[in-house]
Amino acid sequence: MKLVTKFIFTFSFLFFAWKSHAQFRKYSNEFLNIGAGARSLGMGNVQVATANDATAGYWNPSGLIHIKKSPSLSVMHANYFAGIGKYDFAAIALPSKSSKRTLAITFLRFAVDDIPNTLYLIEPDGSPNYNNISSFSSADYAVLLSYSQIAKQKENLFISYGGNVKIIHRKVGSFAKAWGFGIDAGIQIKKNKWLFGATIRDVTTTFNAWSFSFTEKEKEVLYLTNNDIPVKSTEMTAPRLIAAAARNFKINKNINLLAEANLHFTFDGKRNTLISTNPISIDPNIGLEASLNNTIFLRAGVSNFQRALKDADTTNQKKVWIFQPSLGAGFKFGNVGIDYAFTNLANQSNPLYTHIFCLRIDLVKKEK
């Protein structure tokens, strides 16, 4: 556990050194916090301690080391708000011949298409002209380049570490675009039946540098409607620490139960989470996975604990704790796995449960 303690201590020291001279924006690059893989989404977004397939590049890059001998591929697609928004995830992991190192590439995209552009809706005489409405798209992209390596390997102890380099591109029609860069770091420890993990996202902070391009006509409309005309801006994403612990419970020779808990530490002030202080807030996630012969899987989880009004009537100001449940299942046939999740991809005040499917393939190499 000394490595985990050093890992967290080093993070805390660096973070508060940065915070003394940096300004962060809450909920920056939130599309990177949606999740990846139906397995984790069905378990309440817990994977930091147990991630061991191609999705580990997203959850905890140190878990990529568990992919042995052959490349592993994972793809997922999900719809937001009845298809208005689309979320895509794809990752491939490439282990070395010695199985002591693993490289991976992860691609994420979140996009909303057909957004109405009403800049020219109103004619000079004040009358609306709906023929002047056009549409544009807003899309967020991210590429993660991951590396994982074994740190220590003994009979009852296995330690690995890893990291990501993130490249982010965001685009809003022809009006605005941004490029961003960041780094993640992670560690996993397996001791007997216990598994521990920690991930620091945006360890050096992640920034997005925005640039804007409006035509002279568009600038005129913005000016006449008392809107600011942006030129350039920089958006900073504060580091986030996720600490995790998990344990395998062997029910019998065929049935296994995996339980995992994650704690999300944010450092940008009070949030609507179970533990909310200034500047640290903590949001817990809990997940379970029951497996039969490592072939059939049933999953459940809870996450996103929030305080909300008990009744829709705002005159009653009594608040209660609510949480987001999720369910999932999975099947594994040889080197192919199919995972399913039923979870809320929106938020507690506007719940929108969605069916999500994910395909996992181990690309077994043919022997010569």
Single-letter code of the amino acid located at 155: E
Cα 179 to Cα 106: distance, rounded to the nearest angstrom = 17
Least confidently predicted of 29-38, 156-165, 279-288, 306-315? 306-315
Cα 286 to Cα 220: distance, rounded to the nearest angstrom = 52
pLDDT of residue 310: 67
**Interior/surface letters 197-209, b for 16+ CB within 10 angstroms, e for the rest:** bbbbbbbebbbbe
- Asked whether the beta carbons of 359 and 330 are under 8 A apart, the reply is no
pLDDT at 20 over 60: no
pLDDT of residue 312: 56
Mean pLDDT of the chain: 84
Cα 41 to Cα 7: distance, rounded to the nearest angstrom = 26
User: Model-level pTM greater than 0.85?
Assistant: no
- Asked whether the beta carbons of 147 and 103 are under 8 A apart, the reply is yes
Task: Quote the distance between the C-alpha of residue 223 and its chain's center.
Answer: 38
Of the pLDDT bands very low, low, confident and very high (cuts 50, 70, 90), residue 187 is: very high
Q: What is the token pair recorded at 184?
A: 């993640």
